[in-house]
Structure 1
């Protein structure tokens, strides 16, 4: 549960942000999913020790497949497609009302299983965090994937809810009687083939419910025997047949999480046995999850590992792109995974496929949506996708931690906060999943926005993966050390454009002329405000950037508390919350830096120049290598207050 958390989903704050692949940090307003931690000493959800190995588990992945029964990975039967199209002509409006239209149509597609691909990703699965841990970051299958790729609803009744309506109970009883009749046949069980023969094109009053019962039993939440129709799904089928939404997305995702953990256990055991087939007779597992969603998730996000997708019509399910697609050569799949940082698609659904976007939430511009009693279903669905919760399935509950993979939703990433989880019943878990939204507004990122990570997150990640497991201790030791602060001041001006051009890719003009100050100290909180301010362009520098045909460095988002009208009269983008700092304030802060450093009695004189065609100024800064930062806190507080009052002001400004 998340009882200890303030029940809001998002937060925004001014942070030093950097690309997940590294580079120069930028000071800007960033948006995070909660719980996020702003200090290495905070309650971080660290990676477990066994999540750091990126070596192949065993050399014979074909051995794994013989140890796993993929009972949840089902292809359509011979008569199934015919039955689907017949029922579609009669009940498609009901399916859309119940939020299962695309999910039912997905059952007509065939996804050939690639065992090597599935097990390569199972190696990367972390059972504690419910994420894949790669050398370059975390990613996972989320409720968004269940909605867009699987076609399931995140809203509606629980899959374990009982029927309380008299009419619905009568239909349920008729299904029970039909199930009993089938089990009395020669097969002695509710075999799916026998079920189809009994109901397809029968004109029975419960044919639709019988159809949905088979669909649920075979493709959504299969029973332990994948070839039977399970009575446990009858209440769900009855609800769906009346257009009542049922939250199938969390139920399916819970099983996927559970079964990925089972597959991870297999890889660990096989590694222990070193792939010896004579010693692994007891290593067996049955997967009941539709793991074809895992494989198509991989294909959506790893372009180098996928076959060419089909071109589909705008109203076709997203899954149709992968129908009967043949697997690609996957001999070097692990190498491709470990080196995929530059190619991984964080938001594949936000890119228009054939000019079509699957959800109206993938908009060109970022915006704030008010939260109230009449909240749009798609916005409510988004809130469920990005909020920490418990996933309730038919036979399991799993923790859902989207704040660890915020960039998959277009949000920035900070240190992931720890989410405590105590003993809980299915009822308590469902109450956690359906709890009210605590935010008054929800931020919806632009589909074109490329999210970043905080500098401290990037440092934490590198230490977690490559620098030892005791991340917190390492950070504390670094902060308590008396290493002197080292600086590199880059003198950049219009007179030396050749040097400036080295900071951008070939063929591109620089956005603006800036003074970059880099520090060896990993804790950016210890940098003086004057040094951080030097990274923010002035108004004239922004003008020069626009004249060069490049966009401003400042993000343009619509704030809930302020709005602006564009020149064409339409209400659109707001001015950036991080206002540019003019040269007078830069000079004032630089002078304060000089005064503080003068107190040490030793000076190293550097000349810092900022110039462009609109204005130029020279700042003489006195630098002291080895200066104790703690002694400067008092005067720095004044600088912070001065800057906030003079430049950041209120959002309504």
Structure 2
């Protein structure tokens, strides 16, 4: 960084070697350095109502065996601090996928996701099927695996609206139902976790049908690296935001906020009731 003769005020703020940070001309800091106004980032809204729905023990057992028990036990995430998210994005370097902070470079890692949410970070990658399916195929799949039928509008959009699934899990299940009812209910809960918290788009409300195909067999589902998928989704959205491609931000921003609180203690909110952590307790439980 170049500076004035007095050593007090910089003449130029930015990379010394443009060949390294080759995306700098598109980065949001370029607008800030030039003194131009920047758009306010709009994080996707967190839908916390899913944690208010009644949870049957047999449904929770299936959720645990599918590998999402840690995320569910973390419970209702705290309200997103849009200013904090925006400040982190302004310091994001898309070439290296790191935050440039006064103390050095830092980033969200697979270990962070495993520790904060308890999601699996090894195993098979999460790959969405690219096979085109007819609307009739999706209706049959949803009825078989979830016990519900999507509307014509949802079939046209290729995914459920989160409200549809929330209306289903709002009803308490009896204790003497066949086991497949509890399994269907568990899949719906997992879809809500994926679409609203782990892999949300910019709306935080649309849940693609292709996610359903990965939840057919709970043993195979538990072997997938959902943590790696969450991290890739987070990187994708904050890279786009830092390069000013969009002001609406999707991805697991609740995880990013927890990471910031964990790694930058002086901005962490006060913890009123501390959790007694065991070896497998996700650190995201507050």
Indicate whether 1:74 and 2:36 are aligned.
no
Alignment of 1:405-444 (within 5 A): none
Q: 2:112 aligns with which of 111, 127, 145?
A: 145
Where 2:207 maps in the other structure, the secondary structure is coil
**Residues in 2 aligned to 1:115 and 1:225: alpha-carbon distance in whole angstroms:** 15
> What is the count of residue pairs matched by the alignment?
244
Residues 542-589 of structure 1, C-alpha deviations (whole Å, 9 max, x = no match): xxxxxxxxxxxxxxxxxxxxxxxxxxxxxxxxxxxxxxxxxxxxxxxx
Indicate whether 1:226 and 2:204 are aligned.
yes
Q: Which segments of 5 or more consecutive residues in structure 1 lack a partner in the other structure?
A: 1-45, 163-169, 267-282, 322-653
Once the 2 structures are TM-superposed, how far is the Cα of residue 54 of structure 1 from its aligned partner? 8.8
**Residues in 1 aligned to 2:21 and 2:206: alpha-carbon distance in whole angstroms:** 39
Larger radius of gyration: 1
**Residues in 1 aligned to 2:102 and 2:63: alpha-carbon distance in whole angstroms:** 42
**Residues in 2 aligned to 1:185 and 1:133: alpha-carbon distance in whole angstroms:** 43
**Residues in 1 aligned to 2:247 and 2:238: alpha-carbon distance in whole angstroms:** 11
Once the 2 structures are TM-superposed, how far is the Cα of residue 263 of structure 1 from its aligned partner? 2.1
Contact 2:99 2:106 in 1 (8 A): yes
| Greater strand proportion | 1
Where 1:229 maps in the other structure, the secondary structure is strand
Residues 265, 94 of structure 1: alpha-carbon distance in 2 compared, 3 angstrom cutoff: same
Once the 2 structures are TM-superposed, how far is the Cα of residue 184 of structure 1 from its aligned partner? 4.0
Contact 2:89 2:238 in 1 (8 A): yes
Q: Which has the higher contact order (CA 8 A, sep 6+)?
A: 2
**Residues in 1 aligned to 2:33 and 2:198: alpha-carbon distance in whole angstroms:** 31
Aligned to 1:491: none
Aligned to 1:216: 194
Once the 2 structures are TM-superposed, how far is the Cα of residue 313 of structure 1 from its aligned partner? 2.5
Residues 374-407 of structure 1, C-alpha deviations (whole Å, 9 max, x = no match): xxxxxxxxxxxxxxxxxxxxxxxxxxxxxxxxxx
Q: 1:126 aligns with which of 65, 87, 93?
A: 93
Where 1:238 maps in the other structure, the secondary structure is coil
Indicate whether 1:303 and 2:265 are aligned.
yes
Q: 1:103 aligns with which of 62, 65, 71?
A: 71
Once the 2 structures are TM-superposed, how far is the Cα of residue 139 of structure 1 from its aligned partner? 1.0
Once the 2 structures are TM-superposed, how far is the Cα of residue 241 of structure 1 from its aligned partner? 7.0
Q: 1:201 aligns with which of 144, 159, 172?
A: 172
Normalised to the residue count of structure 2, the TM-score between the two structures is 0.69
Residues 129, 312 of structure 1: alpha-carbon distance in 2 compared, 3 angstrom cutoff: same
Aligned to 1:238: 216
**Residues in 1 aligned to 2:36 and 2:283: alpha-carbon distance in whole angstroms:** 30
Aligned to 2:285: 320
Contact 2:91 2:100 in 1 (8 A): yes
| Greater helix proportion | 2
Contact 2:128 2:211 in 1 (8 A): no
Contact 1:218 1:226 in 2 (8 A): yes
**Residues in 1 aligned to 2:155 and 2:140: alpha-carbon distance in whole angstroms:** 22
Residues 423-464 of structure 1, C-alpha deviations (whole Å, 9 max, x = no match): xxxxxxxxxxxxxxxxxxxxxxxxxxxxxxxxxxxxxxxxxx
Query: RMSD of the TM alignment (CA)?
Result: 3.9
Alignment of 1:159-558 (within 5 A): 159-160=126-127, 173-175=140-142, 181-184=149-152, 190-199=160-169, 200-201=171-172, 205=181, 206-223=184-201, 225-240=203-218, 244-266=222-244, 284-310=246-272, 311-315=274-278, 317-321=282-286
Residues 159-189 of structure 1, C-alpha deviations (whole Å, 9 max, x = no match): 1166xxxxxxx99954266687231489987
Residues 304, 61 of structure 1: alpha-carbon distance in 2 compared, 3 angstrom cutoff: farther
Once the 2 structures are TM-superposed, how far is the Cα of residue 96 of structure 1 from its aligned partner? 4.0
Aligned to 1:57: 32
Q: 1:117 aligns with which of 66, 79, 84?
A: 84
**Residues in 2 aligned to 1:61 and 1:92: alpha-carbon distance in whole angstroms:** 50
Once the 2 structures are TM-superposed, how far is the Cα of residue 286 of structure 1 from its aligned partner? 3.1
Residues 137, 47 of structure 1: alpha-carbon distance in 2 compared, 3 angstrom cutoff: farther
**Residues in 1 aligned to 2:255 and 2:185: alpha-carbon distance in whole angstroms:** 28
